[in-house]
Amino acid sequence: MTERSSSSCSDLMKRQTANLARFCANTHFWTMISAIIPTYNEEHTIGSLLENLKELGAEEVIVADGNSIDRTVEIASAYAHVIRCKTCRALQMNAGARASSGDVLLFLHADVRLGPGGLAAVRDSLRDPEVVGGNFDIRYEGSDWVAAAFTSINRWRRRLGVFYGDSGIFCRRKVFEALGGYAPWPILEDYDFARRLRKVGKLALLDEPIWVSDRRWRTSGLLPTLWSWFWVQGLYLAGVEPERLAGLYHPVRTMNSTSDSPSLSGPGGPMEEDKDQKQLATRQQTFEGTVPDTEPRVCPERSSGSRGDE
């Protein structure tokens, strides 16, 4: 494809996206928000998020579970429509989008919480027909300097147009479909989607907070977490394929030491929970079709040359 034809295609997509946004803004259907949550062994966090969405009056919540072997599905079923998918966060979010009925899609990680005005802020931002999507202002849990530093780092990156799925990416359904959804990558699928979303229209970078768990650096350490972030991002920008980068970003899900499930926080306390974690690790190693102690990144093979920035 020549440079001129590539530019023409890009301009055409921008015009089509703008027309879709104007259509959505001029109908009453656009205000329905579908919250889509990919999960894999999130029994310690999913209940709190679903309670949060219930309090905010979420109209539709889809939990796309990647074959969890803990109580994630049991807990989520009391609040949301649960679908089972292949263990791959990108595919889970795409499946959740297909299963949803809202004209606005809000993708949330299981370890986040929205502020009291979160859903209203999304609706207000989309009154502007030029807005195709956006995200929230990350606030990391904790009152120490580390949480404050990570919050500041994310605000700085956000001003440069760099953000990820933990910031609560939302967009109009028709825009999501026009972009082809998330690339089936084991890592950085959210970054890739955010870049493509930014290219086709105006983004609403909301001031409304999204509270994000501090479990990654609390369990992995501050410096290793920072190093993995910059190392993975740098290698990706240098052209390294996402499949090769996935191993550099280690899982933290089963390390979480707090539970919103009463049956897991009984009189046995930390000793009982430690026992539960060991049993879960054992089940993971023998569970057919999953990768032991991993995050939902087991994505299918894809053809070369399909990176979203190419």
Q: Does pLDDT of 145 surpass 70?
A: yes
b/e 53-91 (16+ beta carbons within 10 angstroms → b)? beebebebbbbbbbbbebbbbebbeebbbbbebebbbbb
Place of tokens 């263990």: 87
Encoded amino acid at 62, one letter:
I
- Residues 154-184: tens digit of each pLDDT: 888 888 888 999 999 999 999 999 999 999 9
Q: pLDDT: is 193 or 272 the higher one?
A: 193
Share of the chain above pLDDT 70, in %: 68
Q: Give the integer Cα–Cα distance in Å for 21 and 18.
A: 5
CA distances from 65 to 92, 110, 181 (A): 7, 11, 18
Give mean pLDDT, residues 240-248: 87
State both tokens at 123. 């609706």
The torsion angles phi and psi of 70, rounded to 5 degrees, stand at -110, -150
Q: How much is the pTM?
A: 0.75
Average pLDDT over residues 302-306: 43
Name the strand (E) or helix (H) holding 36: strand 33-39
User: Looking at residue 131, what is its pLDDT?
Assistant: 97
Higher pLDDT, 12 or 58: 58
More confident residue, 5 or 54: 54
The pLDDT of 104-131, averaged and rounded, is: 97
Does residue 270 carry a pLDDT above 50? no
For residue 218, the one-letter residue type is R
Q: What is the pLDDT of residue 221?
A: 67
Of 290, 220, 262, nearest to 69 by C-alpha is: 290
Phi, psi of 114, deg, nearest 5: -90, 150
* Residue 12 confidence class, pLDDT cut points 50, 70, 90: low
DSSP, residue by residue, 143-207: SSHHHHHHHHHHHHHHHTT---GGG--EEEHHHHHHHTS----SSSHHHHHHHHHHHHSEEEEEE
For the cut 70, the answer to whether the pLDDT of residue 48 exceeds it is yes
> Does the structure show a pLDDT above 60 at 232?
yes
Spatial CA neighbour of 155 closest among 167, 137, 141, 142: 137
Residue 97 pLDDT grade (very low, low, confident, very high; cuts 50, 70, 90): very high
Q: Which domains does the chain have, with CATH numbers?
A: 3-218 (3.90.550.10)
Mean pLDDT, the chain, as a whole number? Answer: 79
The position carrying tokens 């207000």 is 124
* Residue 217 pLDDT: 64
Per-residue pLDDT at 223: 76
- In sequence order, the β-bridge partners of residue 205 are 135
Neighbour count for residue 130 (Cβ, 10 Å): 14
263 vs 64, residue with greater confidence: 64
| pLDDT band for position 247 (cuts 50, 70, 90) | confident
pLDDT band, residue 142 (cuts 50/70/90): confident
The tens digit of pLDDT for each residue in 20-36 reads 555 555 544 447 999 99
Please give the pLDDT value at position 127. Answer: 95
Q: Judge whether residue 16 has pLDDT over 70.
A: no
Residue pair 119/32 in contact by the 8 Å Cβ criterion:
no
